Amino acid sequence: MISTPAEGYLTYIRKNHLLQELTDEELQQILRAAVMRNFGENEVIMQEGDSGDAMYIMCEGIVQITKRLVLELDEETPRDKVIIRFRAEEGVILGEMALIESDVRSATVTALTPCQMLELHKDAFYRLLEQFPEMGVKILLRLTKNLSHRLRKSSDEVVKLTTALAIALES
Level-2 CATH architecture, domain 2-170? Sandwich (2.60)
SS3 124: helix
CA dihedral of residues 98, 96, 3, 15 (deg, nearest 10): -170
Distances, alpha carbon 16 to alpha carbons 57, 96, 105, 146, in Å: 8, 12, 20, 12
- CA dist 17 → 33, 93, 106, 143, 157 (Å): 19, 9, 20, 9, 23
List pLDDT tens digits, range 45-62. 999 989 899 999 999 999
Strand partners, 121: 54
Distances 102 to 49, 131, 138 between C-alpha atoms, Å: 12, 22, 21
Q: Residue 74's pLDDT is what?
A: 60
Q: For 111-158, write each residue's pLDDT tens digit.
A: 999 999 999 999 999 999 999 999 999 988 888 887 777 778 777 777
Among residues 5, 22, 3, the alpha carbon closest in space to that of 129 is found at: 22
**What are the start-end ranges of the H helices in 7-132?**
10-15, 24-33, 122-131
Best-predicted range by mean pLDDT among 8-12, 100-104, 114-118, 165-169?
A: 114-118
pTM recorded for the entire structure: 0.77
Closest to 110 (Cα-Cα) out of 164, 36, 42: 42
Closest CA to 94 of 112, 108, 75, 74: 108
pLDDT for res 7: 61
